[in-house]
Amino acid sequence: MYAPFEMDVADAALGAVGVCNENLVTDLDEYAVTWTREVDGAVVASGGLDWDLAAGECGTLALPAEATSVASADAGTTVALTLAVALAEDTTWAEAGHLVASQQAVLRDAGVPVAATPATSAADGVLDVASAGGTLTVTGERVSVEIDEAAGAVTSAVLDGVLVVQGGIGPDFWRAPTQNDLMNGLADGAYTWHDAVRSPTRSRSRGQTMRPW
C-alpha cells in the first residue's frame, strides 16, 4: 500500500527511526505523529512525537525512552511499538486523524516454537542417476524420483519414505494471459506454449552424478 512516509524501524529498540518524506511540498510537522507501546496486543503507553522533516528529505529521528522501554515484568510477552502518521487537520479529501502511514517494530518477542531442522550430512547432496526400461531414476539418501524418459514427466517421488508424487507431473511453460497481454496482442503467440504441454516429446536426456552442495 502506498504511503507518503517510509519508516525504517530496524533500530527502534535503540531509540532511532529512519524516515523518508515522499511528499513533494508538505513537511512532516504538518501531520500528527504518534507512538503506541503494546504488550501482547494491549496498549500500555502512548504519546505524540514532535518530528519535523522537510518534503522530499530523509533522516533519522529520535524516539522517547518511554516508547521503547521493556520492563522485566514483560518477560514472556511480546512488546511492540507502533508508529502512526495522521492528518492533523481536516482536508477536502479526509478528516483530521485519517491515517496516512504506519509502521510497527517488535521490541521484545515472546518467542515462537521453531520446527526442528533435520540433520544433514555430505551424503545428502549426492544423487545417483540410473536409466532402465525407459525410466530415469534419481536417488539420494532421503529422496527417490522416477522420470518417464519418453514423456519427460516425473511419475513418482518419495521423500523420507513417504510417496509425495504419484501419477506424473510435467513441464508447463504457459500462464493465463493478463489484460495487458490481451490488449497488446501478446497472448496470440503464447498459445503455442499452451498447446506444447499437451503432447511433449523428448529430444534428449542426460544423467550425471551430482557433487555435494
pLDDT band at residue 205 under the 50/70/90 scheme: low
**Cα gap 71→69, rounded to integer Å:** 6
Query: Residues 69-96: what's their mean pLDDT?
Result: 90
Place of cell 533500530: 11
Stated length of the chain: 213
pLDDT tier, 27 (very low <50, low <70, confident <90, very high otherwise):
very high
Residue 15, Ramachandran bin (φ over 0: left; ψ between -120 and 50: alpha; else beta): left
The contacts of residue 69 (CB under 8 Å, 6+ apart) are 37
Cα dist. 70→18, 37, 65, 122 in Å?
A: 21, 9, 10, 44
Q: What is the rounded CA–CA span in Å between residue 153 and residue 165?
A: 11
Q: How confident is the model at residue 172 (pLDDT cuts 50, 70, 90)?
A: confident
Using CA atoms, how far apart are residues 7 and 24, in angstroms rounded to an integer? 17
For residues 40-47, give the mean pLDDT. 93
What is the rounded distance in angstroms from the CA atom of residue 154 to the CA atom of residue 100?
50
C-beta separation of 87 from 32 below 8 A: yes
Grid cell at residue 192: 503455442
Report the candidate in 31, 159, 44, 160 with the shortest Cα–Cα distance to residue 99: 31
> Does residue 119 have a pLDDT over 70?
no
Tell me the per-residue pLDDT of 56-73, one tens digit each, with 9 for 90 and over.
Answer: 999 999 999 999 988 776
Q: How confident is the model at residue 170 (pLDDT cuts 50, 70, 90)?
A: low
Closest by alpha carbon to 97, among 86, 85, 113, 109? 86
What is the pLDDT, as a whole number, of residue 113? 44
| 81 burial level (CB within 10 Å; 0-12, 13-18, 19+) | buried
Contact between 52 and 85 under an 8 Å Cβ cutoff? The reply is no
pTM above 0.85, yes or no: no
